[in-house]
Structure formats: structure tokens, C-alpha cells
Amino acid sequence: MKLPLADAKDVIKVLLAKGYAKIGQSGSHAQFKNNQGTVITVPIHPGRPIGRGLLRKIMRDLEVSREEFMELLGRAR
């Protein structure tokens, strides 16, 4: 099953649901951090989805399975 395309808004909602907090933004890239110190950067480009490769990297950083990520993404939409 292919990973769906997602926009930055939905990915940010997933990060917030997993306990990440926004710690800053540099231009069009927002940084989020959890209480263990893991930092995830999300590019915010309106009208452009986040690539599947970057989504896989975010899933690895979140330590969630594809199924769990897709479920969280479904709730965010």
C-alpha cells in the first residue's frame, strides 16, 4: 500500500497529537520537539504536498508504523 500524500497542516496535526511542540520556524521550515529531545522539521509550502520520502523519515523519527501514521493522518484531515 502506497503512503498517501499529505500537506504540512495535516503532518503538523499528527506531530501535535504525538506530543511534539513547535519550538521555532526558520522561513518555511517549522521545527517540532518532544520531551525526549527529538526534533522534526516540517517544510511548509502551501499547495505542495510533503514527499513520500520525507513522510517515511518523519514516521521513523516518530517511531510509528505506517498503519498508525495513516490512522493519525486520517484523524487529522
The mean pLDDT of 6-34, rounded to a whole number, is: 97
Q: Which residue from 67, 51, 52, 64 is spatially nearest to 15, judged by alpha carbons?
A: 64
User: pLDDT tens, 63-74?
Assistant: 999 999 999 998
For residue 3, is it within any domain?
A: no
**Confidence grade of residue 53 (pLDDT, cut at 50, 70, 90):** very high
Which of 43-58 are b and which e, b meaning 16 or more Cβ less than 10 Å from the residue's Cβ?
A: ebeeeeebeeeebeeb
For residue 39, is it within any domain?
A: yes
Q: Are 61 and 14 in contact (CB under 8 A)?
A: no
- Is it the case that residue 1 has pLDDT exceeding 80? no
- Total domains in the fold of the chain: 1
Range of the domain at 65: 8-76
CATH of residue 64: 3.30.920.30
For residue 62, is it within any domain?
A: yes
For residue 48, is it within any domain?
A: yes
8: Cβ–Cβ under 8 A, 6 or more apart, which residues? 30, 42, 43, 44, 45, 50
